[in-house]
């Protein structure tokens, strides 16, 4: 096993959690994930300490942004906020910025959402790769179903910035979206050609439920062997977004390491 394992953390200094877990990776937000405010992360020597300790750092962008939206009051601030988080991620030495695929409304042509994504990618100054994450629900989502992801990636691949756009695979989202867990990694790779990060989460919602409710590993509805196989097949850094803090994440990492 050559890929690092870690978890999302909301600690004032995220490295404290990584140290407590013996983790080789961590994910953090640079501010309030439910806010439109610009990043406000400021931990002295964080970049230097993370590099010295060999911890791979990933940033999750705010949940409010939706660059696919046809609403100018959402789409334009979303692009600005995403650029701010890419810049902030570069300052702390992060390896990627995770951003949800977003959605359009029932009254919109899904092609408009894909076109908005392309315009966003073309216009970004991408110092740190953005990693588009699959989502659990929504019939008009850009990255829930495989056919929608394929339409999105066709436009991503045509951008000059394509080398700086990767993919984050969330197991809970995939399961709740109704994707086949047995062929999940192969199906995604056939479209994107890459998986840069795995969000390893069990699911409280059933297959195809569209319910985005994470569960601790082995305590949800995803067959345990399928979770482990996704990790093996993807061969990418793994971040837990499971419930609880350090103690719960320590149990999840122990669960995973024992099976790997």
Model confidence, pTM:
0.97
What are 39-94's pLDDT values in tens digits?
999 999 999 999 999 999 999 999 999 999 999 999 999 999 999 999 999 999 99
- For the chain, the domain total comes to 1
The answer, yes or no, to whether residue 1 has pLDDT greater than 80, is no
Read off the pLDDT of residues 19-46 as tens digits, 9 standing for 90 and up.
999 999 999 999 999 999 999 999 999 9
- Residue closest to 36 by CA, chosen among 72, 3, 85: 85
Output the furthest CA–CA distance in the chain (Å, rounded). Answer: 50
Question: Measuring CA to CA, which residue among 50, 67, 52, 58 is closest to residue 86?
Answer: 58
Mean predicted lDDT score pLDDT of the chain: 97
DSSP per-residue string spanning 129-191: -EEEE--S--TTBSSSSHHHHHHHHHHHHHSTTGGGEEEEEEHHHHHHHT--SSSHHHHHHHH
> Which pLDDT tens digit goes with each residue over 103-139?
999 999 999 999 999 999 999 999 999 999 999 998 8
What CATH number should be reported for the domain holding residue 78?
3.20.20.150
Residue 99 near residue 135, CB atoms below 8 Å:
no
Instruction: Assess contact for 236 and 196: CB atoms under 8 A.
Output: yes
φ/ψ region of 22 (left if φ > 0, alpha if ψ in -120 to 50, else beta) reads left
Query: Which domain range does residue 60 map to?
Result: 5-259
Q: What is the pLDDT of residue 2?
A: 79
Give the model confidence (pLDDT) of 153-212 as tens digits.
Answer: 999 999 999 999 999 999 999 999 999 999 999 999 999 999 999 999 999 999 999 999
């Amino acid at each position: 096993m050559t890929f690092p394992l870690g978890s999302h953390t909301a600690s004032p200094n995220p490295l404290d959690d990584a140290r407590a877990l013996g983790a080789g990776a961590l994910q953090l937000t640079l501010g309030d994930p439910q806010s439109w405010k610009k990043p406000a992360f400021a931990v002295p020597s964080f970049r230097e300490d993370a590099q010295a300790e060999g911890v791979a750092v990933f940033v999750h962008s705010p949940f409010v942004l939706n660059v696919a939206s046809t609403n100018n009051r959402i789409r334009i601030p979303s692009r600005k906020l995403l650029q701010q988080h890419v810049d902030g991620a570069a300052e702390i030495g992060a390896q990627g910025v995770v951003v949800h695929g977003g959605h359009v409304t029932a009254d919109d042509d899904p092609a408009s959402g894909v076109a908005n994504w392309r315009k966003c990618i073309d216009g970004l100054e991408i110092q740190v790769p953005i990693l588009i994450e699959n989502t659990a629900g929504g019939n008009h989502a850009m990255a829930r179903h495989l056919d929608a992801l394929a339409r999105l990636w066709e436009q991503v691949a045509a951008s000059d910035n394509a080398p700086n756009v990767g993919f984050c695979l969330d197991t809970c989202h995939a399961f709740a979206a109704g994707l086949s867990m047995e062929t999940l990694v192969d199906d995604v790779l056939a479209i994107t050609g890459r998986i840069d990060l795995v969000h390893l989460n069990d699911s409280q919602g059933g297959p195809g439920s569209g319910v985005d409710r994470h569960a601790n590993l082995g305590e949800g509805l995803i067959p345990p062997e399928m979770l482990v196989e996704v990790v093996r097949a993807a061969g990418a850094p793994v971040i837990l977004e499971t419930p609880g803090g350090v103690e719960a994440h320590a149990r999840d990492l122990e669960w995973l390491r024992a099976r790997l």
